[in-house]
């Protein structure tokens, strides 16, 4: 019986990962797998405010991602952050900024959003406004709109923040946006348990992203277009439902 010879190819050896080895030796990671899955170096002890940007200030890049192992700042503004300096000194390597991620997207986009959305509340907003360099104006406006919708920030605080950002108050008190395409409300007829709601009355606002979205929500609350139901998510009042129905806007 003829025996065939096969040329079995061994897989290439794994790439060298000296940065991972240094992080593991210094106690900043438990192993290669941990680093490649989580990617960020966690900071739990040196956090001046509950922002994920502070909690995950350093991101690890495996050579499997773009061919080069690296350790990068989640945001360039963290170069002098004490935790960053400690890690850099412990492993004997600099931690630099990076312009793009492995997909060509701006590297710190997500971290900037984390900072804005995590700190935009009545407790932490002052720290957030003092550290605007770690986020963007658009992220601040979008985070403010988000937290107004979920009731995490007072309208008086929101007014102060909009003043600090130089976002002028609409002279029509946002009636055009509230009764127009500033929101695309939809009646919530399915409960959290996945079952139909017998008498649905709460509305998902589906707030449009635009610079004056926060002003629209402030005016909506102050002028009786919007209210906060038990679901803790802004909803239309009967006044708004009636006005929009007359204009045949939205789901009616």
Helix (H, G, I), strand (E, B) or coil at 74: coil
Q: What is the CA radius of gyration of the chain?
A: 25
Residue 118 lies in a domain: no
Distance CA(51)–CA(54), nearest Å, equals 5
Domain boundary among 71, 90, 107: 107
Residue 235 lies in a domain: yes
Helix (H, G, I), strand (E, B) or coil at 127: helix
Residue 59 lies in a domain: yes
Please tell me whether residues 94 and 174 are part of one structural domain.
Answer: no
Please tell me whether residues 27 and 103 are part of one structural domain.
Answer: yes
Contact at 8 Å (CB) between 41 and 54? no
pLDDT of residue 54: 97
Of 190 and 78, the structure prediction assigns the larger pLDDT to 78
Residue 236 lies in a domain: yes
Distance CA(174)–CA(223), nearest Å, equals 10
Q: Which two tokens stand for residue 141?
A: 């406006």
pLDDT of residue 252: 43
Q: How many CB atoms lie within 10 A of CB 86?
A: 15
For residue range 98-136, list pLDDT tens digits in order: 999 888 999 999 999 999 999 999 999 999 999 999 999
Residue 95 lies in a domain: yes
* The pLDDT of residue 202 is above 50: yes
Residue 81 lies in a domain: yes
Please tell me whether residues 28 and 99 are part of one structural domain.
Answer: yes
Question: How many structural domains are present in the chain?
Answer: 2
Give the domain range for residue 97: 18-107
Predicted TM-score (pTM) of the model is 0.87
Domain boundary among 76, 107, 138: 107
Residues in the chain: 252
Domain boundary among 53, 86, 107: 107
> If you average pLDDT over residues 1-10, what whole number do you get?
62
Residue 199 lies in a domain: yes
Q: Which two tokens stand for residue 153?
A: 């920030």
């Amino acid at each position: 019986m003829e025996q065939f010879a096969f040329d079995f190819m061994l897989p290439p050896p794994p790439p060298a990962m000296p940065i991972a080895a240094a992080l593991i030796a210094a106690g900043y990671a438990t192993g290669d797998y941990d680093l490649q899955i989580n990617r960020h170096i966690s900071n739990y002890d040196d956090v001046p405010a509950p922002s994920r940007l502070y909690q995950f200030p350093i991101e690890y890049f495996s050579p499997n991602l773009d061919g080069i192992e690296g350790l990068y700042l989640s945001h360039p503004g963290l170069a002098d952050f004490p935790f960053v300096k400690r890690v850099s000194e412990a492993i004997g390597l600099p931690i630099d900024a990076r312009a793009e991620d492995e997909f060509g997207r701006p590297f710190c986009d997500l971290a900037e959003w984390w900072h804005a959305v995590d700190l935009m509340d009545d407790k932490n907003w002052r720290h957030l406004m003092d550290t605007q360099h770690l986020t963007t104006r658009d992220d601040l406006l979008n985070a403010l709109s988000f937290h107004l919708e979920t009731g995490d920030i007072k309208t008086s605080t929101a007014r102060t923040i909009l003043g600090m950002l130089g976002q002028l108050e609409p002279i029509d008190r946002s009636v055009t946006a509230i009764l127009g395409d500033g929101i695309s409300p939809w009646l919530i007829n399915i409960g959290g348990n996945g079952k139909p709601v017998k008498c649905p009355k709460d509305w998902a606002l589906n707030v449009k992203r635009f610079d004056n979205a926060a002003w629209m929500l402030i005016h909506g609350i102050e002028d009786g277009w919007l209210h906060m139901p038990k679901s803790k998510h802004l909803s239309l009042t009967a006044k708004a439902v009636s006005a929009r129905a007359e204009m045949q806007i939205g789901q009616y």
